[in-house]
Chain A
Amino acid sequence: MSEDVVWLTIFVLSVFVGIEVISKVSSTLHTPLMSGANAIHGVILIGAVLVTGAADSGLALAVGLVAVILATINMVGGFVVTDRMLQMFGGRRAPQRKDQQ
């Protein structure tokens, strides 16, 4: 099997997994789900780190570092804001901590 076919196989299987895992989501969770999926594509950070680590000129390094910053914002901010949304879905929140001085 040629290597490209392996890549194609991974791609096609991932498409099916991606569709399957969210097929039963209720509309209540559309916003957190979109936000969570948004955070996941922040893994482009990996790609940004790899190309920046191979940069051979000052310009390439600068562009790479910008990519690293943008990707990190996407990933970290995405997961944090999703968690903030979902925290509120918990319903019964932990009782207010009054006597903690």
Chain B
Amino acid sequence: MPVWVQLGYLVAAVCFIVALKGLSGPGTARRGNLVGAAGAVLASVIVFFERDLDHVVPILIAIAVGTVAGVVGAQRVQMTQMPQLVALFNGVGGGAAALVAVLELHEFVEEAETGVNLTEFDLVATAFTVLIGSVSFAGSLVTFAKLQELMTTRPVVFPGLAVAFGGCLLAGLVLSVVVVVEPALWIGVLLGVLGLTLGALLVLPVGGADVPIVISLLNASTGLAVAASGYILGNTLLLVAGTLVGASGTLLTRMMAAAMGRSLTNTLFGALKGGSTLGAGAVSDRPVRSAGPDDVAILLGYANRVIIVPGYGLAVAQAQHSLRELVDVLGERGIQVDYAIHPVAGRMPGHMNVLLAEAQVPYEQLKEMDEINGDFKQTDVVLVVGANDVVNPAAKTTPGAPIYGMPILNVDQAEQVVFMKRSMRPGFAGIENELLFDPKTTLLFGDAKQTMSKLLNAVKTL
């Protein structure tokens, strides 16, 4: 490998570190991402000079195909569907790593026949990449299907799931050992198939609300698979980049889980033990107080302090633009209005910020949970739009509830609470919200978009 190529890889690795650093601050995030992209482009160009490669033309065509597919997918996706796209991108990355390792195993086996000695480390890393890469691929596809609602978002549990999972895991370990001791291509392929099964079994029992944590975890594991493939191929850039993603992804997974008040093991295996995110799902017929847009307009228009709690339902109904207008009109009336953003509002931590930013809501009006939770006591009206679990007091009061322990927005401390809801259907976690039946709560039923514009007009005519 020419020295300048190695130095080029070093530059790319530094780009990735700078990118991750940049991505953790609001002011530098976009530039950070571009630096990362520059590093990736640099690496993809100089790889062609690393050694003599055959089939350069088909490879370039494949890169062109992948580029078009990636760009079109990334440009076309609705911002509400972005979590599943990230899952999909992660999955294909894991799949690529697994395929690379299978091909490398094929080469190892041929080399072994010509008398070249293989080190165990190479084979261990190969087995690891095949297994983890395919787990990540299948797991991400199931995650995608859940978020896209191609299948149920509830945990899928069947009798013997735990046994099947344990069995596959054990078989995976045994096969990994076999690959190391007696390398053969077909065992590698079998290992990949086992990995696919394991990935699916791992994600099926996870409830919809916990899926983001799993995406992050699979993201970290793809990183580790890439790192291992770097070792196999003797490529430092792959090792460094993969390890960076593996390490930061693991930390990120833990931070997300903490924000949701869940432990990782509970997220993954809670459904197996029973009573995790399995909600009652029954629609209660207890009495609630509902009102029309005009009543709510009066409530809002004569308040001094209003806090908006947006949820995923808002974005799905595409009501965020009308909401922003409403907030503007209220602001003109001299009312102090802020948005309270729960860390997991939307379907992923930070997802709601993306969705509101798309509607051009000023960044300063978006208040994080810790920042605003003390303000609810002095708030006249809280308007909850399409959110449910993140304001559910059961997280504090009901030890048995699936969301128990999750930090929530203290909406229940406000003077008045208005829920804008489509129906009495429970939230993503599938549990009933006591706050809906509270005497100070008013429900405004209807499609978020239509109701929001009615509300907006009503406030304008006050």
The answer to whether A49 and B53 have CB atoms under 8 Å apart is yes
The answer to whether B362 and A91 have CB atoms under 8 Å apart is yes
Contact residues of A between 35 and 82, Cβ < 8 Å to B: 35-56, 60-61, 63-82
Q: Which residue of B lies closest to A92 (CB)?
A: B362
The answer to whether A35 and B26 have CB atoms under 8 Å apart is no
Question: Please, how many angstroms separate the alpha-carbon atoms of A76 and B231 in the complex?
Answer: 24
Shortest Cβ gap from B28 to chain A (Å): 10
Q: Is A88 an interface residue (CB 8 A)?
A: yes
Q: Is A1 an interface residue (CB 8 A)?
A: no
Contact residues of B between 245 and 272, Cβ < 8 Å to A: 245-249, 251-252, 255-256, 259
Q: Which residue of A lies closest to B362 (CB)?
A: A91
How many residues of chain A are within 8 Å of chain B by beta carbon? 78
Shortest Cβ gap from A47 to chain B (Å): 4
The answer to whether B90 and A79 have CB atoms under 8 Å apart is no
Q: Which residue of B lies closest to A36 (CB)?
A: B23
Q: Give the interface SS of chain A, mostly helix, strand, loop or mixed.
A: helix
Question: Please, how many angstroms separate the alpha-carbon atoms of A68 and B368 in the complex?
Answer: 41
Q: Is B21 an interface residue (CB 8 A)?
A: yes
Q: Given A30-B252, A50-B53, verify A41-B93 contact (CB < 8 Å).
A: yes
The answer to whether B85 and A40 have CB atoms under 8 Å apart is no
Q: Which of B239, B248, B341 has the most CB of A within 10 A?
A: B248
Cβ-defined partner of B59 (8 Å) among A41, A43, A53: A53
* A21 surroundings in chain B (CB, below 8 A): 17, 20-21, 24, 244, 248
* B43 surroundings in chain A (CB, below 8 A): 43, 45-46
Q: Is B323 an interface residue (CB 8 A)?
A: no
Shortest Cβ gap from A62 to chain B (Å): 9
Chosen A-B contacts, 23 in total, with CB atoms closer than 8 Å, are A22-B20, A27-B255, A33-B23, A35-B86, A36-B32, A38-B219, A38-B245, A41-B90, A42-B40, A45-B44, A46-B44, A47-B233, A53-B52, A54-B54, A69-B63, A70-B96, A71-B93, A72-B66, A72-B67, A74-B90, A77-B85, A78-B93, A83-B37
Hey, which bits of chain A sit against chain B, CB under 8 A? 4, 7, 10-11, 14-19, 21-56, 60-61, 63-91, 93
